[in-house]
Structure 1
């Protein structure tokens, strides 16, 4: 299974914030949409970074309440690990494991944002794939005799 199949099912809408958005606004956005990360984008749609719940918690642990005065541009992780729509679920899971991230922006070859996948999306897809394989094997065994 490839990432584009997941995006077809879940949609390509990506919740994002601007570089000047404050941490309070970011946390409200995360809570409102029940998500763990938002992309930080420019007005033209260029992806600049990502802010995750983990980024906020680490900043709070290191800086205390000063974090509440920070912006997305100050807090975001700038090094993005990405996949493309043709990447396999297995490749994406491996990247997440290797880089210790839970969200991957999906970028087209020209850099355009195509969507975002989470570890939950990938695990769900992998389970569905395994269940389908099991059903196919059951069918094969039942009809092979």
Structure 2
């Protein structure tokens, strides 16, 4: 299975913020949408990502002043991304290796196709394994 299939099921809508948005407003956005990360966009260009983990680490280091910072100040600028044709296994491996929980999905021209979380990919991988098991059971039952 490939990432494009996950996006087809999940949808390609991505919750995003602007570089000037405050961390206080971003925390409300994360809570409202029940998500763990938002992309920071300037028009169509992906500039970075702000995750719950980024906010918690900054709070531990800097205290409540973090809430007055902006997305542009706190965002992670080095993004690990997947393409729509990436396999789920490759995307999961990248997430494991880089210790990230969200991957922006970019088309070859750099435009945003969507975003997947580790939960999205694990769910898809489990469904894929269940389908394979059912196919094997059916094969064994009819082969005898």
Does 1:80 pair with 2:79? yes
Superposed counterparts of 1:3-82, under 5 Å? 3-43=3-43, 45-82=44-81
Q: Residue 68 of structure 1: CA displacement?
A: 1.1
Q: Residue 69 of structure 1: CA displacement?
A: 1.2
Moved over 6 A (4+): none
TM-score, normalization: structure 1? 0.98
Q: Distance in 1 between matches of 2:48 and 2:27?
A: 16
Q: Structure 2 unaligned runs (5+)?
A: none
User: How many corresponding residue pairs?
Assistant: 144
Q: Structure 1 unaligned runs (5+)?
A: none
Q: Distance in 1 between matches of 2:32 and 2:56?
A: 18
Q: 2:101: which partner in 1? A: 102
Q: Deviations over 1:80-134 (max 9, x none)?
A: 0000000000000000000000000000000000000000000000000000000
TM-score, normalization: structure 2? 0.99
SS in structure 1 at match of 2:79: coil
Q: Distance in 2 between matches of 1:65 and 1:11?
A: 35
